[in-house]
Amino acid sequence: MNPHRRSPFVIAATVLVYFFLYAPIVMLILYSFNSSRANVKFEGFVTAYSSRVVMDGSTVVSSPCGPFHWFCDLAKNDDVLEAAGNTLAIAFTATIIATIIGTMAAIALQRYDFKIKPFSQLSLYIPIVIPEIVMGIGILTLFSQLFGWMNNAFGLTGDARLSLGIATVTVSHIAFMVPFVTLVVQARLQGFDKSFEEAAMDLGANEWTTFRRVTFPMILPGVLSGALLAFTLSLDDFVITFFTNGPGSTTLPIYVYGLLRRIITPQVNALSTVWILIVFLAVLLLQVLQSREAKPAHE
Amino acid sequence: MASEFAVELRDVVKRFVTPEGNEIAAVDHVTMQIRNGEFFSMLGSSGCGKTTSLRMIAGFEWPSDGEVYIEGKPMGHTPPFQRKVNTVFQSYALFQHMTVYQNIAFGLEMEGAGPDEIKKRVGRALEMVQLTGMERRKPRQLSGGQQQRVAVARALVKTPDVLLLDEPLGALDLKLRKEMQLELKALQQQLGITFIYVTHDQEEALTMSDRIAVMSKGRVQQLATPVEIYERPTNKFVADFIGESNFMEGKIKSIAKDEAKVFVPSLNKEISGLPMSQDFVNGEEVVVSIRPEKIRIAEPAAKGEGLFKVQVLNSVYIGSDTHVYVDANGLRLKVMEQNRISRLDPSSFYSKGQEITLYLLPENTLILKKD
Amino acid sequence: MLQRLRESKSAQGTVLALPTTLWLFVLLIIPLILTLIISFGKRSPDGDVIYSFTFENYTRLAGFSTDCPDGQATCFDPLYLNILMRSLTLAFNTTAVVIMMAYPLAYFIARAHPKRRTMFLFMVLIPLWTNFVIRVYAWMMLLRKEGAINIVIGWLANLLHIPFTPLEMLYTPGAVLVGMVYEFLPFMILPIYTSLEKIDNSLYEAAADLGANAFRTFLRVTLPLSMPGVVAGTILVFIPVMGTFVVSDILGGRQVILVGNLIQRQFLDARDPTFGSAASLILMVLTLIVTYFYTRKFGFGEEIIAA
């Protein structure tokens, strides 16, 4: 029983804040059906009936995809597809590596005392308390100085030249993701009773088998949480990627940013809508999974 | 090649570094020899080193000094999965993500046994702990007592030479605990293997064990059979820790092999008792120890040399016994007398302020070293 | 080898932590050290670094420039200090506004029926997981002269027969603030929700039992117990805002320059990595100082971050 629950102030504030959160998104989606290419004014919906699209106010082009004109445009945009591909590839690779080394580090920090422990803890702590841009330009500096020197020292030219690209982005992503993975896994490890592992070893399992058959299944939810968080961070990252990417390694956020500084067509909105839709489906999926997990308790 | 002893600890030391940075010895020069087929207990309060010692036998800790021998072979620095001993954990440590069957089968899988053999042996193990039919359940669906049995079955299915039990009954309620004590003891006798049992519960240790090692502060205070531990504690700690004892200070007046005479100022009397140490000297300050049930209350009219008068402070009626607390010139003593005759008259149970006469039999009185 | 590893628990810990520690050493520690070194360097003609040791960059940041009007040798130009101030102010303002908006919402969700709580939370997560460049873009569209906000206000004005000229909202400091708040609102809602949710119902009952009304219960029980969440949220908001440049770039244009923009331009347009590094370090130190004093007073709330 709580006196505040029905407070009108709280309810009003809640409604307003949710409105504030969603108004821009709703508007974004609406505009992806804009029949004006300039996207400045909403000229009305591109519908199947008026399969006409006003381009720059003068030229008229018919719209084969009906209301989804801009979405079709998007699908034909190779740059977007490449950026999407890069984003996913980087996110997957970085997540896998960051999860593995992050989990190892979490176990180390939670259970052992070792000489470099304070240093490890400090290193994991720093990325959380400094602005991303500081880390971003630092890494950029590192790569530019390092590559510059190596290219000169070894006389590398052309394709052999070391430069910024997918590798540098991925490696940098791992660096800023690892502290989060470690934090999450460490939090889950706190309740973990060592006696399960001792029992396994007592029964004849060596260290690796114990980890594989007993420890890992038990910490899996925590590891998955950490991996999910890492994946999200990578997908969404802008700042670090901004400073460490090069030609051919554009990711979606970078691509959208670039678009925003040039010509803005409703294609950007279409891209946004697709993105929002995917997020929405993912969230729905998560909710289904969560409620499924809760069920087996009734046996 | 069987050795004389199932497990032997020779001058084992285990040091730990506390969070503050100090080094402490949880196990401080412990030597024990545990015989094949015996039910051996390590008894003491928390922090005494019993659990650490057990863990060194299991292999979860490795000795800082000294050596642990299993079946005559030095195994102190061998990993647990290479030792032929198995453990029943205090928290049971059942694998939550596996069924009862899988839990018990785990150890057999590690041995490389085939599925048919596993099925057979798991079945027998479940029979042994009377849990047949529970194969498909998960640990969290079992009661505490059932989980405990699964833990025992899981360890025993591997037919180890030695079974280690770390306070396995601590989480059970009283009635269940007593039942399990009997069951475990019966199991041990039936299987004939060595059980090494850690507990802080004296009664448990005294009723189940063939021999007990009483431990305190990382050292073995006394290692003997339950009867010897109770009737002949060799130092003040054991006399105090096991059961109850009355202690009096005194000075040795004379010593012979089986008898020592001690002058006890509080009683203003010379007492005869059994010396529990070999190296007493005349004039040494010692502690006289006698258990409450061993002090005799004399008839009021009795006369004799060893008698002394005391004043009753309090008398508590327990039903089967009466506990009488007395004062002898400032020395407090507790006397326990069995209520052999059924009486209803309250005045027959020693009233406050009453003067009564006590005497001590020499064979009940122990002379111990002062700390 | 394996046996030696088994003997030493400390060695096991080191082996497990080594990959992560090395990775961070190379990609975090070394870059920071490098940034420090370079900040004392000079700019080479082609935008690269000449390694030397000079305080030029720092004095320039502090405002002592050699680029003076009236032919003076040195003069004081608070340009960069203003930029720093602007970033600090924006960070504080954003945090304050975000707390005020996030708290009621978090409170509502925490007190809602458990079955519906997940849904409300997911409603907060959807904007969070939508890429933030996209979200900034959305505000860009809203705030324009021809944007939705002006359309609505214009329609209202028409209704009331008030003359109306479209508001110039874009490219103002206000626009940047709105964008920031929108950006970081979910980051404050979640930690506050977590700490509120942890408050046992029986505490409210106890307070009522002891005679506290709704307001006093909130002030003396709810608010203090939710502080770890507020603290965690503040750290999640304040630090990134200090270093932001995207929002000020898109919503502020040339009008609003923050430290982040300054640094970004030094590295990309002006190609003076030494100056940029110096600015970056000052940003980091400033942020750390504020965070340090803040956590000294309010604690770190790390248990909330993990959730």
B269-275 vs B366-369, strand pairing mode: parallel
Put simply, the answer to whether C133 touches A253 (Cβ < 8 Å) is yes
Domain C81-306 matching CATH 1.10.3720.10: the answer reads yes
CB B229 within 8 A of CB B222: yes
Cα A58 to Cα A14: distance, rounded to the nearest angstrom: 45
Backbone angles phi, psi at B248, to 5 degrees: -135, 145
| Predicted pLDDT at C306 | 47
Q: Give the residue carrying structure tokens 């047949």.
A: B132
**CB contact set of B207 (below 8 Å; sequence gap of 6+):** B181, B185, B226
| Predicted pLDDT at A50 | 42
pLDDT at C219 over 90: no
Please give the average per-residue pLDDT across B123-140, as a whole number: 92
Nearest residue, CB atoms, B58 vs list A196, A202, A209: A202
CB B349 within 8 A of CB B322: yes
Please state, as a whole number, how many other Cβ atoms lie within 10 Å of the Cβ of residue C114. 7
- Chain C hits for A27, CB-CB cut-off 8 Å, are 138, 141-142, 148
Backbone angles phi, psi at C249, to 5 degrees: -70, -50
Cα A55 to Cα A210: distance, rounded to the nearest angstrom: 65
Q: How far apart are the first and last CA of chain C?
A: 39
Handedness of CA C209, C210, C216, C222 (dihedral sign): negative
Q: Give the residue carrying structure tokens 């290219």.
A: A151
Using pLDDT thresholds of 50, 70 and 90, give the confidence band for residue C162. confident
Put simply, the answer to whether A186 touches C182 (Cβ < 8 Å) is no
- Domain identity same for A14 and A55: yes
Q: Residue A290 falls within a domain, yes or no?
A: no
- Chain A hits for B111, CB-CB cut-off 8 Å, are 204
* Chain A interface disruption, residue of B89, B156, B159, most A CBs within 10 A: B89
- Chain A hits for B80, CB-CB cut-off 8 Å, are 198, 201-202
- Domain identity same for A128 and A12: no
Q: How many residues does chain B have?
A: 371
CB B266 within 8 A of CB B330: yes
- Domain identity same for A156 and A259: yes
Put simply, the answer to whether A13 touches C132 (Cβ < 8 Å) is no
| Percentage with pLDDT > 70 across chain A | 82
Put simply, the answer to whether C7 touches B79 (Cβ < 8 Å) is no
Put simply, the answer to whether B154 touches A203 (Cβ < 8 Å) is yes
Closest approach of C134 to chain A, Cα-based (Å) = 6
- Domain identity same for A19 and A112: no
Residues 215-254 of A with CB under 8 A from B: 217-218
Nearest residue, CB atoms, A218 vs list B85, B97, B141: B97
| Predicted pLDDT at C303 | 53
Question: In this structure, which long-range contacts are made by residues C25-28, counting pairs with CB atoms below 8 Å and at least 24 apart in sequence?
Answer: C25/A123, C27/A139, C27/A142, C27/A171, C27/A172, C27/A174, C27/A175, C28/A123, C28/A126, C28/A127, C28/A135, C28/A138, C28/A175
Put simply, the answer to whether A140 touches C267 (Cβ < 8 Å) is yes
**CB contact set of B231 (below 8 Å; sequence gap of 6+):** none
Q: Residue A288 falls within a domain, yes or no?
A: no
Q: Which residue, among B315, B307, B323, B317, has the nearest Cα to B359 in the 3D structure?
A: B307
Nearest residue, CB atoms, B95 vs list A196, A206, A207: A196
Cα B311 to Cα B90: distance, rounded to the nearest angstrom: 47
Put simply, the answer to whether A193 touches B96 (Cβ < 8 Å) is no
Please give the average per-residue pLDDT across B304-326, as a whole number: 87
Q: Is A214 on the interface with B (CB under 8 A)?
A: yes
ipTM of the complex: 0.84
Handedness of CA B25, B29, B35, B39 (dihedral sign): negative
B194-199 vs B162-166, strand pairing mode: parallel
Cα C107 to Cα C195: distance, rounded to the nearest angstrom: 10
Nearest residue, CB atoms, A280 vs list C126, C134, C250: C126
Q: pLDDT higher for A121 or C170?
A: A121
**CB contact set of B198 (below 8 Å; sequence gap of 6+):** B41, B42, B50, B51, B54, B164, B165, B166, B167
Cα B161 to its chain centre, rounded Å, is 22
Cα C166 to its chain centre, rounded Å, is 31
Nearest residue, CB atoms, C134 vs list A10, A17, A256: A256
* Chain C interface disruption, residue of A130, A206, A295, most C CBs within 10 A: A130
* Chain B interface disruption, residue of C4, C6, C8, C10, most B CBs within 10 A: C6
Tell me the C-alpha to C-alpha distance, in Å, between residue B70 and each of A63, B74, B319, C39, C40: 85, 6, 48, 65, 66
Angle CA(B302)–CA(B306)–CA(B311) in degrees, nearest 5?
70
* β-pair partners for B286: B250, B369
Handedness of CA A83, A85, A89, A91 (dihedral sign): positive
Q: Which residue, among B237, B333, B338, has the nearest Cα to B291 in the 3D structure?
A: B333
pLDDT at B88 over 70: yes
Cα C105 to Cα A38: distance, rounded to the nearest angstrom: 37
- Measured between CA atoms, the residue of chain C closest to residue B80 is C6
Tell me the C-alpha to C-alpha distance, in Å, between residue C206 and each of B171, C220, C226, C243: 32, 12, 17, 44
| Residue C57 in tokens | 């960059």
Q: How many residues does chain A have?
A: 299
| Residue B362 in tokens | 């020499």
Per residue in C174-201, pLDDT tens? 889 999 999 899 999 988 988 888 888 8
Closest approach of A185 to chain B, Cα-based (Å) = 19
Q: Provide the residue range defining the domain that includes A19.
A: 8-70
Q: Residue A192 falls within a domain, yes or no?
A: yes
Please give the average per-residue pLDDT across A60-81, as a whole number: 73
CB B219 within 8 A of CB B30: yes
Closest approach of B93 to chain A, Cα-based (Å) = 5
Cα B47 to Cα B59: distance, rounded to the nearest angstrom: 19
- What stretches of chain B adopt beta strand conformation (E)? 5-17, 23-35, 39-43, 65-70, 73-74, 85-88, 162-166, 194-199, 211-216, 219-224, 246-255, 260-264, 269-275, 285-290, 296-297, 307-317, 321-328, 331-338, 355-359, 366-369
- Chain A hits for B152, CB-CB cut-off 8 Å, are none
- Chain B hits for C6, CB-CB cut-off 8 Å, are 77, 79
Q: Is C165 on the interface with B (CB under 8 A)?
A: no
In B, what residues contact C, Cβ < 8 A? 62, 77, 79
CATH classification (class only), B5-235? alpha beta
pTM of the model: 0.79
Concatenated DSSP letters of B74-97? E-TTS-GGGSSEEEE-TT----TT
Put simply, the answer to whether A142 touches C31 (Cβ < 8 Å) is yes
Using pLDDT thresholds of 50, 70 and 90, give the confidence band for residue B232. very high
Concatenated DSSP letters of C38-57? HHTSEE-TTS-EE-----HH
Q: Is A195 on the interface with B (CB under 8 A)?
A: yes
| Predicted pLDDT at A179 | 93
**Single-letter residue type at B263:** F
CB A74 within 8 A of CB A80: yes
pLDDT at A58 over 50: no
Please give the average per-residue pLDDT across C300-307, as a whole number: 53
Closest approach of B60 to chain A, Cα-based (Å) = 7
Put simply, the answer to whether B79 touches C6 (Cβ < 8 Å) is yes
Lowest mean pLDDT among A182-191, A285-294, B361-370, C107-116: A285-294
| Predicted pLDDT at A39 | 52
| Predicted pLDDT at C30 | 94
Nearest residue, CB atoms, B158 vs list A201, A203, A213: A203
Q: Which residue, among A153, A121, A142, has the nearest Cα to A244 in the 3D structure?
A: A142
Closest approach of C19 to chain A, Cα-based (Å) = 6
Please give the average per-residue pLDDT across B74-97, as a whole number: 92
Cα A3 to Cα B95: distance, rounded to the nearest angstrom: 44
Using pLDDT thresholds of 50, 70 and 90, give the confidence band for residue B305. confident
Nearest residue, CB atoms, C17 vs list A114, A183, A235: A114
pLDDT at A191 over 80: no
Nearest residue, CB atoms, C287 vs list A130, A271, A283: A130
Q: Is C48 on the interface with B (CB under 8 A)?
A: no
Concatenated DSSP letters of B186-198? HHHHHH--EEEEE
Torsion of CA B236, B241, B244, B247, to 10 degrees: 20
The total number of structural domains in chain A stands at 2
Where do the structural domains in chain C lie, given as residue ranges? 81-306
**Single-letter residue type at A13:** A
- What stretches of B71-151 adopt beta strand conformation (E)? 73-74, 85-88
- Domain identity same for A101 and A33: no
Q: Residue A283 falls within a domain, yes or no?
A: no
- Chain B hits for A207, CB-CB cut-off 8 Å, are 79
Angle CA(A183)–CA(A187)–CA(A188) in degrees, nearest 5?
120
Nearest residue, CB atoms, A27 vs list C125, C141, C303: C141
CB C228 within 8 A of CB C215: no
CB C63 within 8 A of CB C76: yes
Cα B277 to Cα B254: distance, rounded to the nearest angstrom: 14
Q: Give the residue carrying structure tokens 């940013």.
A: A257
Please state, as a whole number, how many other Cβ atoms lie within 10 Å of the Cβ of residue A161. 11
Q: Is B93 on the interface with A (CB under 8 A)?
A: yes
pLDDT at A296 over 50: no
Q: Which residue, among A134, A132, A141, A217, has the nearest Cα to A180 in the 3D structure?
A: A132
- Measured between CA atoms, the residue of chain A closest to residue C23 is A175
- Measured between CA atoms, the residue of chain A closest to residue B153 is A203
Using pLDDT thresholds of 50, 70 and 90, give the confidence band for residue A298. very low
Nearest residue, CB atoms, A205 vs list B90, B93, B110: B110
Put simply, the answer to whether A213 touches B106 (Cβ < 8 Å) is yes
Q: How many CB pairs under 8 A join A and B?
A: 62
DSSP state of A34: B
Q: Residue A284 falls within a domain, yes or no?
A: no
Q: Is A206 on the interface with B (CB under 8 A)?
A: yes
| Predicted pLDDT at C122 | 85
| Predicted pLDDT at A194 | 87
Per residue in C249-292, pLDDT tens? 888 887 788 888 888 888 887 678 888 899 999 999 988 898 88
Tell me the C-alpha to C-alpha distance, in Å, between residue B352 and each of B317, B339, C101: 13, 18, 74
The helix (run of H) or strand (run of E) holding residue A60 is strand A59-62
- Domain identity same for A36 and A83: no
| Predicted pLDDT at A51 | 44
CATH classification (class only), B244-369? mainly beta
Using pLDDT thresholds of 50, 70 and 90, give the confidence band for residue C307. very low
